[in-house]
């Protein structure tokens, strides 16, 4: 066994943490997690913390879920890995069938990878190659949305729209067209949600009309733009955008890496507006937070565009070493079965309503500018001045301070800038959920001073 001090020392010495300013990290006392138990994380000193963001949006049934642990154990005795390049394996087949069963109708093929970024990368490459092989060689661009986040690989960053993360890489990225973000609290068109008539959709339509001959696909995070700060789209936005893409012959990529598997209250966010995409990217919650896995689902139409004789070179030349990993696929199968067996989505409704009620109270805090919620995805935007919506200066790190305060009170959360994010595990009980909300409230109150 290693002591907390030893682990902390080696951590600082050897690990470069993601999305972390390591100069700051050197000054803090890192939290070393040793175990998980239900909805709690437990550190090397035995302290317990509510897992308030589902270990970065993946945990569904809780840590140490017996059924999931057992499936991994059983599968590991059978087979831990075998390639999907030219072969297949049992869990990969069963999962593909299950995914198609639960996905919006019309999606019929599953292409595996191991993280959200690659699931997007695959959709982009497939969309592009589909048109190339169809003979529409001019179609090389994508339309994406400001404030979109689709992952960290160069392709997915190219269609991303978060300047803070993406600006520095701009010279490396391929060009695409950006439509305004449906960020109603800070409307980029300076309009009011009640009276705008979805003017951002008109902007989107203009871009589509002007550039459609050179565009292969539209990519969007349906219903909620997650990483930009849980930006909830106004009702009708998604279906309108999908309709316009359809009318103009553009493919439609729904990036449900964050929203998929119940996070918005439906199995997939697209269902909320009866949208059927040409590509559905899923990852995060697909294994309930147990192993890395992702999938890109698509239609017979797209699949058909890649068929041909070997010497036609229409093959999709893409695949990762661990594509279709049997361990990850087996736990994903059981994860999905548990949604059904435990009526997880049904049981969410009451908890979503509870959250809605509790969250209203946050407006009593003078520095809470906007509280956004869709299902179990919550963003609380803190502002220096509520009237003018003026943000806090970056160097105040107000979001980080709130999460550190919460940690002292036994909750692990992670902010997105000045947006405090809550993304509880779907199976969380009401008592723990209330405690999570209460600690978040108190932490904001303590840090902002009112």
Element holding 412 (H helix, E strand):
strand 411-412
The single residue among 55, 75, 113, 115 that binds ligand PLP, judged by CB under 6 A, is 115
191, with CB counted inside 10 A (0-12, 13-18, 19+), is middle
Residue 126 structure tokens: 């497939």
Report if residue 116 touches ligand PLP, rule: CB under 6 A: yes
Are 404 and 415 contacting, i.e. CB atoms less than 8 angstroms apart?
no
Are 234 and 193 contacting, i.e. CB atoms less than 8 angstroms apart?
yes
Are 414 and 401 contacting, i.e. CB atoms less than 8 angstroms apart?
no
- Per-residue x/- marks for ligand PLP, 274-303, CB under 6 A? ---------x--------------------
Least CB distance to ligand PLP at residue 355 (A): 20
CA–CA dist 254, 268 (Å, integer): 10
Which residue, 227 or 368, has its beta carbon nearer to ligand PLP?
227
Report if residue 228 touches ligand PLP, rule: CB under 6 A: no
Residues near 224 by Cβ (< 8 Å), separated by ≥ 6? 230, 231, 232, 233, 258, 259, 263, 264, 269, 374, 377
Report if residue 166 touches ligand PLP, rule: CB under 6 A: no
Report if residue 221 touches ligand PLP, rule: CB under 6 A: yes
CA–CA dist 44, 339 (Å, integer): 32
Region binding ligand PLP by CB under 6 A among candidate stretches 149-157, 261-269, 398-406, 420-428: 149-157
Report if residue 257 touches ligand PLP, rule: CB under 6 A: yes
Torsion angle, alpha carbons of 431, 432, 435, 440, to 10: -140
Report if residue 151 touches ligand PLP, rule: CB under 6 A: yes
The single residue among 95, 120, 348, 428 that binds ligand PLP, judged by CB under 6 A, is 120
* Other Cβ atoms within 10 Å of 83 Cβ, number: 15
Report if residue 227 touches ligand PLP, rule: CB under 6 A: yes
CA–CA dist 84, 329 (Å, integer): 12
The single residue among 44, 75, 89, 117 that binds ligand PLP, judged by CB under 6 A, is 117
* Other Cβ atoms within 10 Å of 206 Cβ, number: 11
CA–CA dist 382, 371 (Å, integer): 9
Best CA proximity match to 401, nearest among 123, 28, 61: 28
Which residue, 116 or 399, has its beta carbon nearer to ligand PLP?
116
Least CB distance to ligand PLP at residue 95 (A): 17
Report if residue 328 touches ligand PLP, rule: CB under 6 A: no
Report if residue 376 touches ligand PLP, rule: CB under 6 A: no
The single residue among 98, 109, 150, 263 that binds ligand PLP, judged by CB under 6 A, is 150
The single residue among 51, 121, 205, 255 that binds ligand PLP, judged by CB under 6 A, is 255
CA–CA dist 415, 447 (Å, integer): 14
Least CB distance to ligand PLP at residue 114 (A): 8
Report if residue 265 touches ligand PLP, rule: CB under 6 A: no
Q: Rounded to 5, what percent of the chain is helix, strand, coil? A: 45, 15, 40
The single residue among 52, 226, 305, 379 that binds ligand PLP, judged by CB under 6 A, is 226
The single residue among 128, 131, 149, 362 that binds ligand PLP, judged by CB under 6 A, is 149
Residue written as token pair 């060009």: 175
Region binding ligand PLP by CB under 6 A among candidate stretches 135-143, 146-154, 180-188, 398-406: 146-154
Closest residue to ligand PLP in the complex (CB): 116
Least CB distance to ligand PLP at residue 281 (A): 7
Binding-site ranges for ligand PLP (CB under 6 A): 115-117, 120, 149-151, 221, 226-227, 255, 257-258, 283
């Amino acid at each position: 066994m290693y002591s907390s001090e030893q682990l902390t020392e080696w951590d600082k010495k050897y690990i470069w943490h993601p999305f972390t300013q390591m100069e700051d990290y050197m000054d803090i006392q890192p939290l070393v997690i040793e175990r998980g138990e239900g909805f709690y994380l437990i550190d090397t000193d035995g302290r317990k913390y509510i897992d308030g963001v589902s270990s970065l949006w993946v945990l569904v049934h809780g840590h140490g879920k017996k059924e999931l642990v057992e499936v991994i154990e059983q599968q590991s005795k059978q087979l831990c890995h075998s390639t999907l390049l030219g072969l297949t394996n049992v869990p990969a087949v069963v999962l593909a069938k299950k995914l198609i069963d639960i996905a919006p109708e019309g999606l019929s093929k599953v292409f595996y990878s191991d993280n959200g970024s690659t699931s997007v990368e695959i959709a982009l490459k497939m969309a592009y190659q589909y048109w190339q092989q169809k003979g529409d060689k001019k179609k090389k661009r994508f339309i994406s949305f400001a404030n979109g986040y689709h992952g960290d690989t160069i392709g997915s960053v190219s269609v991303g729209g978060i300047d803070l993360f993406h600006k520095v890489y701009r010279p490396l990225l391929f060009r695409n067209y950006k439509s305004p973000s449906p960020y109603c609290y800070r409307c980029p068109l300076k309009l009011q949600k009640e009276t705008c008539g979805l003017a951002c959709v008109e902007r989107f339509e203009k871009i589509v009309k002007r550039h459609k001959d050179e565009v292969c696909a539209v990519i969007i995070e349906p219903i909620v733009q997650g990483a930009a700060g849980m930006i909830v789209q106004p009702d009708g936005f998604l279906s309108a955008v999908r309709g316009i893409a359809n009318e103009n012959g553009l493919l439609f990529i729904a990036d449900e890496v964050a929203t998929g598997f119940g996070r918005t209250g439906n199995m997939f966010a697209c269902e909320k507006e009866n949208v059927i995409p040409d590509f559905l990217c899923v990852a995060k919650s697909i294994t309930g937070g147990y192993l890395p896995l992702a999938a890109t689902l698509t239609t017979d139409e797209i699949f058909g565009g890649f068929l041909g004789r070997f010497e036609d070179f229409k093959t999709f030349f893409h695949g990762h070493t661990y594509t279709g990993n049997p361990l990850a696929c087996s736990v994903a199968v059981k994860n999905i079965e548990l949604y059904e067996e435990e009526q997880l989505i049904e049981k969410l409704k009451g908890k979503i309503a509870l959250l809605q009620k509790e969250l209203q109270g946050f407006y009593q805090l003078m520095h809470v500018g906007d509280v956004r919620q869709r299902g179990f995805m919550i963003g609380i935007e803190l502002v220096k001045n509520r009237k003018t919506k003026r943000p806090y200066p970056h160097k105040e790190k107000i979001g980080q301070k709130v999460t550190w305060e919460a940690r002292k009170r036994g909750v692990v959360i992670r902010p997105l800038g000045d947006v405090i994010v809550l993304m509880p595990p779907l199976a969380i009980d009401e008592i723990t959920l209330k405690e999570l909300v209460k600690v978040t409230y108190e932490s904001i109150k303590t840090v902002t001073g009112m």
